[in-house]
Structure 1
Amino acid sequence: MPIGSISSSPDAVGVAVVNYKVPVCENHHEIMENCQKIARCIKGAKQGYPGLDLIIFPEYSTQGFHPDKWAEFTTTLDGPEVAVFKKACQEHKVYGIFSITGEEHPEGKNPFNTLIMITDEGEINYVYRKIFPWCPKEPWTAGHETGVAIGPKGLIVGGTICYDTNFPEVVRDTVMKGAELVVRIQGYMYPCKEQQRMVPQMRAWENNCFFAVANMAGKDHVYSYFGHSNIVDFDGSVLAECSTGPDEMTYATLSLTAIRDARRNWTAENHLYNLLHRGYTSEAGGHPTCCFDFFKEWVKNPKEAARKGETLTRDADAPEDASGQWIQAPPPSALAAATVHKGQSLMSTSKAAASKAQKGDLKGASAIAAHPEKANGHATANGSGLYA
């Protein structure tokens, strides 16, 4: 791939990753102010990188993660925060990947940690919910599936979130669904820097895929984040990388022809083909069967697989000396109270707030998000179809 260009081409997808400064928000108005900052970042990126097709922001870049108020800051996919992002992507003709922490759960359970992709027409075309919340600290409800979507210029994009990518199974499943670019949005802090800089390169090489990582930088109430957002070629080499500075951005182009040619014509390094055609040099077609007992049992009898795994680790959720340090899930009554504080449900007011945000009425959107009981008469949404 060419390195150092700010352009792209019909064959090359221009991708930017942002070392976004971790937001420390104390109320809904500050969250909406932060969303406007993200929108301004999109505008500046498109001005600076005319070839930009896709811009990626880190986990926690929208609402941050407040250790005491996180349950109050949930939103929905049609909420005012997302409306700001939709408008920015449409206005500047760029795809964007954004973080929602958290996305309100339809059954009143703990929120999801969610990644969304918005097209250059301002529509959500991909939603991914974090499969492996970072235990024992994160309170999010676990997602249960990987997925992909068509990105700019036909590039097939799949998402992962932070801790997910430490599990090679997540990336492999995403790639086997067609992903050519795997995106990792993360909020990784010190002292995890060295391991997490290596992981994207290995996952890219294992899966013959592009990898793009957007990480936080700066400090919030709890952690300091090391940045180093980066873009990795499908051979595992780093195309572009930020340093540790907050709000740094870097850019690279990804060739559609190159990755598709490699997947079709590479031999020894074609890990996707060789995985399902073991030993084809000695037997035509090779062996497609799974020879890994752990995976067979995990699918057939997950509880028994978990029991056997516990013999290697432990049979409790966390050691006793760590249990008191968790960010505990609030009781259902507390989640309900937080929802009532924002109106009978965020889903019942988010369209009104989103409408104001779309029109640039930041104060109006913030007021509705914080005090939806004052939004009588506005259109409502029941959220149907969001979780299908």
Structure 2
Amino acid sequence: MSFEVGDGGTVGVVVVNQLVPTVRTRTDARLSYFRTAGVVSGLAGAYRADLVVLPEYGVHGIGTGTGERPALAFPEEALDVLGPACAAAGVWLAVSVSAGATRDDPSHRMVLLDDRGTVVAGHVSGPAGGDAARRPRIVDGPGGLRTALAFADGPRPALTDPGLREAELVILCWTAPGAGPSRIVQAARGLAWTNGCYVASANAAGTVGSRQWVGHSSLVGHDGRVLGLCGGIDYEVQHAELSVPGLRAARSRRADAGRAVADSVRRGSLSRLAAARGSHTPGSIPGKADTYVR
């Protein structure tokens, strides 16, 4: 399913309200990995999908936060299962490698696998080490789209993140249970419109204890228009075709318009300065026309 921009110039993206699994044992963790691999393969076959985006907590569940429980599994084990699934289906995958089954860790980690099953990008929330932190954050993704990874965990997530400015597609994963539908959707739209980029916003679904995820994963166009929006049902799916030439043409027009405004402001400032200089007689003090220097 891998293709270049010249083959129609669109990238098929699928985003999923993945259900938060209950992971209490090592067997639970392994079953979740294989279940997720089946989801990826199924979506790649059901849609013209070049990229599948899964939310935080969707693979490993959620940790206890106590720091006392030993790790049930490690990120590499999930990738050993998901990498071959991507290669077999010929699909890219954005997926979390943190949360419940792995070591208790205050940071969130996500990676981007290409259609050969190779990890090509990573991102970690907050100051943290590890493999995901050492990988580039923005890469040439499916269809050549400059693709970035980001977490949404604040009141205005990622809007002021300078690391996203060059991205053409931002994969945004929500880390905070309890975020409301309006906040989730509007944050994705604001990021897309502000940066002039596509946004794939992923949020999990389901309830674990007192924690609840409301889904509302979405795909948003570079103008802030919603291209696909899930509701709150677990495993609800949205698919959209993202035009690479259309995005780049729009960004070029936006840049041209910005330069035109800047040039207009500069010319207006120069004209006002020239007029101000011409209106003063020799020896006069600007702004005090009736006062002369003796």
Q: Normalised by the shorter chain, which TM-score bucket?
A: 0.7 to 0.9
Contact conserved, 1:76 with 1:103, CA < 8 A, in 2?
no
Equivalent residue number for residue 244 of structure 1: 232
After superposition, the C-alpha distances for 1:152-192 in whole angstroms (9 at most, x for unaligned) are 1111100111216624222x4212xx210001112443353
Written as runs of structure 1 = structure 2, the 5 A alignment for 1:43-192 is 43-49=41-47, 51-67=48-64, 72-73=70-71, 76-77=74-75, 79-102=76-99, 110=105, 112-131=107-126, 147-163=137-153, 166-170=157-161, 172-175=162-165, 178-190=166-178, 192=180
Secondary structure, in 3 states, of the residue corresponding to 1:283? helix
Secondary structure, in 3 states, of the residue corresponding to 1:251? strand
Gaps of 5+ in 1: 1-7, 134-142, 287-388
How big is the shift at 1:222? 2.8
Alignment of 1:253 with 2:236, yes or no, is: no
Equivalent residue number for residue 30 of structure 1: 28
Contact conserved, 2:206 with 2:212, CA < 8 A, in 1?
yes
Contact conserved, 2:147 with 2:171, CA < 8 A, in 1?
yes
Equivalent residue number for residue 200 of structure 1: 188
How big is the shift at 1:61? 1.3
How big is the shift at 1:68? 5.1
Which 4+ runs in 1 deviate beyond 3 A? 68-71, 73-77, 102-105, 108-112, 143-146, 187-191, 267-270
Amino acid at match of 1:251: H
Aligned partners of 1:110 and 1:66: how far apart in 2? 9
After superposition, the C-alpha distances for 1:11-60 in whole angstroms (9 at most, x for unaligned) are 000000000001111012101111111111111101210x2100000011
Distance 1:144 1:9, change over 3 A: closer
Contact conserved, 1:187 with 1:225, CA < 8 A, in 2?
no
Distance 1:20 1:109, change over 3 A: closer
Amino acid at match of 2:137: G
How big is the shift at 1:201? 0.3
Amino acid at match of 1:234: H
Contact conserved, 1:56 with 1:214, CA < 8 A, in 2?
yes
Structure with more of its chain in strand, by fraction: 2
TM-score by length of 2: 0.78
TM-score by length of 1: 0.60
Equivalent residue number for residue 214 of structure 2: 226
Aligned partners of 1:189 and 1:53: how far apart in 2? 28
Equivalent residue number for residue 266 of structure 2: 283
Contact conserved, 1:146 with 1:173, CA < 8 A, in 2?
no
Contact conserved, 2:152 with 2:158, CA < 8 A, in 1?
no
Secondary structure, in 3 states, of the residue corresponding to 1:158? strand
Contact conserved, 1:63 with 1:73, CA < 8 A, in 2?
no
Gaps of 5+ in 2: 1-5, 270-294
Distance 1:122 1:208, change over 3 A: same
How big is the shift at 1:10? 3.2
After superposition, the C-alpha distances for 1:33-92 in whole angstroms (9 at most, x for unaligned) are 11111111111101210x210000001112111325775337555x21111110110010
Equivalent residue number for residue 266 of structure 1: 254
How big is the shift at 1:254? 0.6
Written as runs of structure 1 = structure 2, the 5 A alignment for 1:345-384 is none
Distance 1:56 1:225, change over 3 A: same
Amino acid at match of 1:279: A
How big is the shift at 1:147? 2.3
Aligned partners of 1:9 and 1:222: how far apart in 2? 47
Contact conserved, 1:59 with 1:162, CA < 8 A, in 2?
no
Amino acid at match of 1:119: D
Amino acid at match of 1:249: V
Aligned partners of 1:52 and 1:82: how far apart in 2? 20
After superposition, the C-alpha distances for 1:136-160 in whole angstroms (9 at most, x for unaligned) are xxxxxxx699820111111110011
Secondary structure, in 3 states, of the residue corresponding to 2:171? strand
Amino acid at match of 2:43: A
Amino acid at match of 2:123: Y
Aligned partners of 2:211 and 2:127: how far apart in 1? 20
Aligned partners of 1:24 and 1:269: how far apart in 2? 51
Distance 1:152 1:258, change over 3 A: same
Aligned partners of 1:149 and 1:104: how far apart in 2? 28
Written as runs of structure 1 = structure 2, the 5 A alignment for 1:265-344 is 265-266=253-254, 279-283=262-266
Secondary structure, in 3 states, of the residue corresponding to 1:211? strand
Higher gyration radius (CA): 2
